[in-house]
Chains A and B, each alone.
Chain A
Amino acid sequence: KMARDLSFRVAVLFSFLFFGFINFVCCNNERRVGDALETDFSGLSVPLEHSFELDDTAKFVVRGTLLLKTGREPSVALSQNPLSEEDRVKLKEVAEVDGLYRIRVPRVSLQADRQTEWQVDGYLTAFVRACAMVESHLSDVITLHTDVSGYLIGVSIVTIPGACRGTKVEDEVDLEVFNTTLSIMAPVNAPGPETSLFLERMEQETEKKGKNPQEQKSFFAKYWMYIVPLVLFLMMSGAQDQSGGGASGRAAAA
């Protein structure tokens, strides 16, 4: 429970941080990076690439730069350029033919000791439908997933709203600026069986029992008023049976 609370709190914290960054990203599309934040993100910078083509072939071009803060508590920030006129038109065209909008990031490790050298040994890719990208006015949520050792293992992208309803986006300005929510997720620790809490509870109960003298009474002491008449009754009926002999017994059985 504690662990869950903690992770939840951490998650909340992160999301707050990221909301901060989104704003920052939105305001600073021309890569004007704030001084205070720059010192925070002195980690790794890797390109975030995207691709949207009419024939659905992958031709990745740089969309922005991910600044990954490595170390024990990894975090991430993104600075990206607005879409060019040409790209906006293309994206709309791709959306009309229900093409895909793909993104990719290189596989890197966020571990402190490996941050100096990252060589490309493959990419992690994800996609959304291009129409969803257009209809959500470029509001996407990108999540980077790491494994236990801080290696990036996957990236996911969703748009909010996620559906393609076929609504036309007339205003070109809506497709200019990315409204990205970015987060990085490390695996959560799965809980083990919680024995300590259970034992505590059991102890408390036994204590409570010990305090309450009424509960201490034995079974017989508590219910003697029911048991005694029952026993008496049984004895009486048994005696009758014996005195009455076989005939009455049979009658009783019948």
Chain B
Amino acid sequence: MAKLILLLLNWIFLCCNVAAVFEDQVGKFDWRQQYVGKVRFSHFDSHMQSSKKVLLASESNVFAALNTRTGELFWRHVDKTGPEGNIDALLQHGQDAVLVIGNGHLLRSWDIGVGGMNWEMVLDPGSFRSACLVGHQGAVKHLAVLKKTVISLHYLSNGHQKWVENLPESETVDFQAVYSGGNGEVYALGVVPNSHLAIVVYSLEDGEITKQVSVEAPWLSSIPASCSVISRGLLTCVDSTTMSLYTLDLHLQLEMTQIPLQTLGLDVDPGFRPSLVSHQPNPAHPPLSEFLLQLGPEHHLLLQHNDGQIVTLRDYKPALLASFATAGEKTVVAVMAPKNKTACSINLFSAETGRRLLETTLIFTVDPNGGKPEKLHVQAFLKKDDSVGYRVMVQTEDHTLTFIQQPGRVMWTREEALSDVVTMEMVDLPLTGAQAELEGEFGKKADGLMSMVMKRLSSQLIMLQAWIAHLWKLFYDARKPRSQVKNDVSIENLSRDEFNLQKMMVLVTASGKLFGIDSKTGDILWKHYLENIPLNAAFKLMVQRTTAHFPHPPQCTLLIKDKDTGLATLHVFNPIFGRRSQVTPPALPQPILQSLLLPLMDQDYAKVLLLVDDQYKVSAFPSTKNVLQQLQETASSIFFYLADSGQGRLSGYRLRTDLSTEQVWEVVIPTETQKIVSIKGKRSNEHVHSQGRVMGDRSVLYKYLNPNLLAVVTESTDLHQERSFIGILLIDGVTGRIIHEAVQRKARGPVHVVHSENWVVYEYWSTKSRRNEFSVIELYEGMDLYNSTVFSSLDRPHAPQVLQQSYIFPSSISTMEATLTEKGITSRHLLVGLPSGGILSLPKMFLDPRRPEVISEQSREENLIPYAPELIIRTEWFINYNQTVSRVRGIYTAPSGLESTCLVVAYGLDIYHTRVYPSKQFDVLKDDYDYMLISSVLFALFFATMISKRLAEVKLLNRAWR
């Protein structure tokens, strides 16, 4: 019987928590965007005339094919992160694309048509140097892979090794390049830096060394950086110190021929390292005898090797980028030249003659909020009249791909920077004009009764006007078929909806590009590229002023900090339009240790940002007189903490009236045994609705709601599975008082922590049981509240009761966050990002240390679920159904205007946005709510009462007559 009840209980809980989507709701409230990452290699599929594919291999270890018409993904393969999945080379031939992965660990061949894998080979260990396709007698059947000590040849059809040979003298010679010109020989080129060049020639058939020479080259240090093979095996190098070109015929010569650049009438820009680009359209044939030489940032040359002579075919100056492309038998050079500040022009030139092809100009408009063009990927094709047409894919510094067709029509753009979102915020959209008008009226100061009445009347009139216009639009739209009604979203007509469900997502990416995305549709509404962002920058985004303070524009501040030097800069902008704000941020000459956003506001309703530098001096932004005065008044109640994980030191400071600080507490965790890995406070915009929990016997257990509480997680330095542990410290950030200290023995990181309300949930790896476990800590004040009106860390002498319970979780996790709603009435869920790409909405009810081991009447009264050691993943808890989110790195939650609804954004390689309803939509009528039925029933009842009343009257009359 007990089990039946248990089952029933479980079933009821399940019913309460089912949050699945109906089929017709797919994509209605959610959207997903998939990205590739910064492109490292790209190939246009040219083996078919009508092909519309471009292959991309990215620095995020992603290999994908895009549709060149729309920019959408055909297919995508996401490999491991880190050096293990690093894509070293991409070689394409016909229908096959071969990738070298993980520093020469794996060789994989893909069918580019469907994106399926043909074969995979594990290569011998050794660090990867170079790879090339090897053709012979017009057919390409092999592929050569050069590693530090060995060279191997593989069949393109199945990946099997044809032969593998050790490289001679590989201890001294650094082999860097491999080349094949389609004549049955494979050349391995190595260098002894600043001494000589080593060339080893292998026979294609059996891998026998047919020739081995070494050539004096004291100026050479790196082959890929300065050399290239052109024509029939002519190694050509450029050197900036001697200002010369060097050529060497790999078949005949034993010495390099020096051709000073001056004899060609050329000059290298000072401080520029020149580079050479050759082009081999077909691996079965030798490369072209033409090559590109870059002599300066804006100086390119097309040169030709002709009978032992180097001749200049064309001098491109100024030219930002130049690139070869082949269509059929014709090879062209596409050159991008700056036209004016906002545009570049791209032209095609015949590679053979250097002549400009007519009617091939294409205009590329440079986005003023984007980066400079960095790479040019050209897709050339033959038109019907046998002339060459082309499209280009321009890659800019901000990782954007723009695909352009003649004469400059942008077919699509992809913002690949969004594959690496670092931090984000959601900002309310501004009110509509009419609403703003009304708000503005209240904001203004009163000046007489009459004028106020007039103002009120005029604003009411404006609202009426707006309402009529709205009605008219509704009526007009209703007559049109639904498909034609378009919801054009642009920055100008953005306004808050009734329930504040549509918001502006402000995303900060690692490349330093900021985006403003409409949360309803996922459209990018603005973008802004910040130049000169250090590589290891840390970002912190803060909303200083929300949209609630019309007519003051909303204001966001981005703190960009160089992790090495600690030096920081501030970027202040309007989150709705993305424009840099008028306010000039203060210059920060000192390294910044900590930043904190105070609830204090200046006279313009901007929250005060305090920045603490390494001298423990505090500067405020904005730093108006008003702010400084407020700071002086409240200084004694402003506390902050600093954490130095290197020394294990946590210290608390108090602000003084002269904006200096004094240290008030210090906690030191010895670094010999453990190190601090994360510190989590609570979110400042979190509301807790109920101060306590009603127990089974109708008494109240009060929650310990300390807004200053910090959860500090430490990991042991000893990683032995018996001795490793993780520590959880709950510290009051104001007084430094250690509220609770616990160790989870035989556990290891990575630890994911969520800290909210009166609970901390963390997830770790149990080394003893080899599984992932969740643990929850809840803090309670007890049966009576110390001071129910206000919480002060300085006046809470009794330590809270601490309850803790742990559970087994059947999967590892990538990230974790808790849902957040407007008033905190809705029950909480944990949103768990799994490595499988699912986002699980786990009810907090299951992570409750008060779950009883033995069911009693009281616990049943309280709706506690009986304790079960395992948390089960139910498929209906996945909020993103089949929309996998690859490599989730973070989940952001924001409250909406509806108490039941929480907005969720999961970001990683992909971006996914949806809404969740942790307690179902208790404040919303369903989509398919039958207004018709309810109103017809009402009307029917109304008429029925009318008729029956009449009938009753008639009956009464008749009876009276009788």
Contacts and interface: CB of A to CB of B under 8 A. Distances in A.
A159 B794 CA distance: 10
Contact of A122 (B668, B773, B853): B668
Interface in A175-219: 185-195, 197-198, 201, 205, 209
A76 to B, nearest CB: 15
A164 B795 CA distance: 8
A163 interface: yes
B533 to A, nearest CB: 37
A218 B168 CA distance: 79
Contacts of A158: 735, 737, 796-797
Given A56-B662, A147-B673, A198-B853, A192 B796 contact: no
B807 interface: yes
A197 B664 contact: no
Interface in B783-841: 787, 794-797, 804-808
> Which of B662, B665, B807 has most chain A Cβ within 10 Å?
B665
Nearest to A104: B666
A143 B870 CA distance: 36
> Which of B2, B794, B796 has most chain A Cβ within 10 Å?
B794
Interface in A203-240: 205, 209
A127 interface: yes
B742 interface: yes
A100 B656 CA distance: 12
A160 B797 contact: yes
Contact of B663 (A125, A149, A205): A125
Interface string A51-74: 000001110000000000000000
A127 B663 CA distance: 10
Contact of A190 (B669, B795, B806, B870): B806
B877 interface: no
Nearest to A56: B662
B664 A125 contact: yes
A147 B717 CA distance: 14
B205 interface: no
B869 A123 contact: no
A189 B745 contact: yes
A132 interface: yes
A99 B854 CA distance: 51
Interface string A144-170: 010111010110101111111000000
B379 interface: no
A98 B794 CA distance: 12
> Which of B656, B737, B740 has most chain A Cβ within 10 Å?
B737
A13 to B, nearest CB: 17
Q: Is the interface of A mostly helix, strand, loop or mixed?
A: mixed
Given A162-B797, A195-B869, A205-B2, A190 B670 contact: no
Nearest to B774: A193
A192 B741 contact: no
Given A197-B853, A201-B853, A205-B2, A126 B744 contact: no
Interface string B712-752: 00000000000001011001000111101111110000000
B744 A190 contact: yes
B667 A124 contact: yes
B735 A127 contact: yes
A158 B795 CA distance: 8
Given A102-B664, A188-B741, A191-B804, A159 B797 contact: yes
B867 interface: yes
B670 A1 contact: no
A194 B794 contact: no
Contacts of B725: 148
Given A126-B665, A127-B665, A148 B795 contact: no
A140 B656 CA distance: 26
B794 A132 contact: yes
A129 interface: yes
B721 to A, nearest CB: 14
Contacts of B664: 100, 102, 125, 127
Contacts of A132: 794-795
Contacts of B674: 147-148
> Which of A1, A143, A160, A198 has most chain B Cβ within 10 Å?
A198
Contacts of B673: 147-149, 151
Contact of B666 (A124, A151, A161, A194): A124
Contacts of B938: none
Interface string B364-379: 0000000000000000
Contact of B738 (A145, A163, A190, A192): A145
A128 interface: yes
A252 B365 CA distance: 70
A73 B794 CA distance: 31
A154 B736 contact: yes
A198 B867 contact: yes
Given A127-B735, A154-B738, A148 B743 contact: yes
Contacts of A107: 668, 670
B937 interface: no
Contacts of A58: 662-663
Given A107-B668, A153-B668, A163 B853 contact: no
A195 B766 CA distance: 14
B728 A190 contact: yes
Contact of A187 (B663, B727, B736): B727
Contacts of B742: 187-190
A141 interface: yes
B751 to A, nearest CB: 12
B806 A191 contact: yes
A201 B868 CA distance: 10
A153 B656 CA distance: 27
Nearest to B6: A205
B797 A194 contact: no
A188 B725 CA distance: 12
A183 to B, nearest CB: 10
Contacts of B663: 58, 125
Contacts of B731: 154
Given A148-B673, A151-B673, A190-B744, A123 B853 contact: no
Interface string B635-679: 010000000000000000010100000111111111001100000
Nearest to A199: B869
A132 B805 CA distance: 36
B797 A124 contact: no
Nearest to A139: B797
B797 A193 contact: no
A148 B736 CA distance: 19
A36 B251 CA distance: 99
A190 B775 contact: yes
Given A148-B673, A192-B766, A156 B736 contact: yes
A237 to B, nearest CB: 29
Nearest to B648: A153
Given A127-B736, A188-B740, 15 more contacts: A1-B853, A98-B636, A132-B794, A147-B670, A147-B673, A148-B727, A149-B673, A151-B673, A156-B736, A158-B735, A190-B804, A191-B806, A192-B768, A193-B870, A194-B867
By Cβ-Cβ distance, the 8 closest A-B pairs, closest first, are: A156-B737, A154-B667, A162-B797, A193-B869, A162-B795, A158-B797, A187-B741, A190-B742
29 contacts: A124-B668, A125-B666, A126-B665, A127-B665, A132-B794, A143-B738, A148-B743, A151-B673, A153-B667, A153-B669, A154-B667, A154-B738, A158-B735, A162-B795, A185-B741, A187-B742, A188-B742, A189-B743, A190-B728, A190-B806, A191-B804, A191-B806, A192-B766, A192-B769, A192-B806, A194-B853, A195-B869, A198-B868, A201-B853
